[in-house]
Amino acid sequence: MDRPNTATFENSAIDFDIHGGVRIRLIGPSPGDLCAACNLLGSPSKLPLADPDITVRFEEDLRVRKMSFLGADEYGLTDQGFFLLDKGTRQAKARIPFDRIGGPCEIVCKRRAGSVPLLMPIVSLSVLKKQYVSVHASAVVYNNLGLLMAGWAHCGKTAALLGFASEGAEYVGEEWVLLNACGQRMHGLVRPLEVSRWHVATLPQMQNVVNLRNRCAFYGIGVLDRLRKIISTERIQSSLVLRNLEKVSAAVGERLRRPVAPSAIFKNRICSSGAQVDKVFLFVCHEDCSIEAMPIAPFEMAWRLTSLVQAELTPLLRSYAAYRFSFPGQRNDLIENAAEYAFGTLTRVLDGKDTYIVRLPYPCLFSELYKTIQPFCRPTVSATAQSEHA
């Protein structure tokens, strides 16, 4: 196969406008680099943007000389800056100016690396300066109310999003949702959803979203799961077999998560311009089979979501610590005070909102979850009065 002409990449510039919160420009990405960026950021802007906040410049090779190394060859530093390295090869993947994150900054990334390291945490930090906070959540508009469903990974957010789609809800966002303190609005990224075997098995409307080949693969994973349960219930004295089945089932199931465009599920019910934040649900998994929901104070919800934001920033914070070790004279106030910035924004977003904590088993049937939280998905007296006044 002929190698692509690098000249076709070097002069190309593609912009992304994340709801006015942050503007990103890719310079010289390969088709694969652009595809990876779209999976994270959604569709590129149709018009070129002036003065991007984050510029990612792709280069064919990031060879540097006289590099010093940190840790297990994860980080490198030279007079040119701080580099993230490919483990095992010591080859530079990206040069990131940690001291400039939050203002105009340029990341230099190796072309065809598959992704831009730490891009989403950098975007999350950049929006904090503009009174946005990025939360790991799903969001829909249901019964004319904006519902935000937040939580750690594998707590049922995507299943709830897909389930609400079957109830006629409108799509706002999945995985990353930006909350704006100005107007208390939420904005999502129209990017592919990852559909798992469990979603297809428990939500009838998902059967036609994935093709026959994937449905057959999902069925095979189901057979493995049933075999694992038989082994565990029969108490067969082979923990090695059980552990291997669990590993194979989990690994194959993770690889078989299929990307699906939101329009394939929600059709034309997509709120690309965002929606008002009316109700906030925090999903927390527990061992009990029951599902329970109870109100909590907006102040407590702000603290919990701040901790969630910090957890999502962990990979960047770890790299920043290595950067500070390498360059003691350089610091970034935004990174070091990200929790305070996030908490301040969240308290303004959630002020006067209905906030709830939902404890549920994972995975759980959406019908059972819906039965529990549906009574809370109705306009409150104050919300109704505000609507009538408007």
pLDDT single digits (tens) 96-140: 999 999 999 999 999 998 889 999 999 999 999 888 999 999 999
Residue from 365, 290, 287, 349 nearest 150 by CA: 349
Q: CA Rg, the chain, in Å?
A: 23
What is the structure's pLDDT at 349? Answer: 96
What are the CA-CA distances from residue 387 to residues 144, 239, 278, 390 (Å)? 11, 59, 12, 5
SS3 call for 81: strand
What is the structure's pLDDT at 385? Answer: 40
For the record, the structure tokens of 299 come out as 């102040």
For the record, the structure tokens of 122 come out as 């950098």
Beta bridge partners of 173: 139
pLDDT in tens, the chain (390 residues): 334 444 456 678 999 999 988 999 999 999 999 999 998 998 999 888 889 999 999 999 888 888 899 877 899 999 889 999 987 788 899 999 999 999 999 999 999 988 899 999 999 999 998 889 999 999 999 999 999 999 998 898 988 999 999 899 999 999 899 999 888 899 998 888 887 766 666 666 666 666 555 655 555 555 555 555 555 555 544 555 555 545 545 554 555 556 788 888 898 999 988 999 999 999 999 999 999 999 999 999 999 999 999 999 999 999 999 999 999 999 999 999 999 999 999 999 999 999 999 999 988 888 899 999 999 998 875 444 443 443
Strand ranges, E, within 88-169: 91-95, 105-110, 132-142, 145-150
CB neighbours (10 Å) of residue 239?
10
Question: What are the tens digits of pLDDT across the range 67-105?
Answer: 899 877 899 999 889 999 987 788 899 999 999 999 999
Read off the amino acid at residue 249. Answer: S
The greatest distance separating any two alpha carbons of the chain, rounded to the nearest whole angstrom, comes to: 68
Q: Are 39 and 54 in contact (CB under 8 A)?
A: no
